[in-house]
Copies of this chain bind each other. A is one copy, B any other.
């Protein structure tokens, strides 16, 4: 199998970090998103939605969507567990990963894709009002996440999970929006330092 990767974009990075934490190495094909290589006939045939990451199997079939790719590797190599240990823990990790996606990551992506003229290549019809709506929401989301991290090491509890990967990639991508993490969010800053120091963060 091989992974179609997309450089600095948050979703391809989520899969790279996930694989690094698992110690899995697979061949990667770099897709230049700025040059719209994801819209090539080759990639469109694998994913009609024209997005990466994509995992291509040796039979030519394709698996798309970041968390679906992560789930496949979690299933075939459960150690170290990044998506929970038992029924309740797996559900809790799913909850926290989705909270990071549906709130934090989606809001940051909206500001970046709809509020930044340099992103017009990826988002031809930008809606600046949507960027502004989300820009206003982000400080409250960061404050809520800071509170959630009080007294716990990682986002879903005592162990590093996919929820940490989602949040790390979202917050690092937030740099393009110039929104600060907020000096007052001490739990969030402490967590961010901790997860950034893991070797996987360089993936």
Interface residue ranges, A against B (CB under 8 Å): 48-49, 63-65, 67-69, 71-72, 75-76, 86-88, 90-92, 94-95, 98-99, 102-103, 125, 127, 129-130, 133, 136, 144, 147-148
Contacts and interface: CB of A to CB of B under 8 A. Distances in A.
The A interface, classified by DSSP as helix, strand, loop or mixed, is helix
Contacts of A125: 133, 136
Contacts of A103: 49
Contact of A87 (B76, B88, B98): B76
A137 B191 CA distance: 38
A72 B88 contact: yes
Contact of A72 (B48, B67, B91, B99): B91
Contacts of A133: 125, 127, 130
A69 B91 contact: yes
A74 to B, nearest CB: 9
A63 B127 contact: no
A149 B98 CA distance: 27
Contacts of A102: 65
The 3 closest A-B pairs by CB, nearest first: A75-B87, A72-B91, A68-B95
A68 B49 contact: no
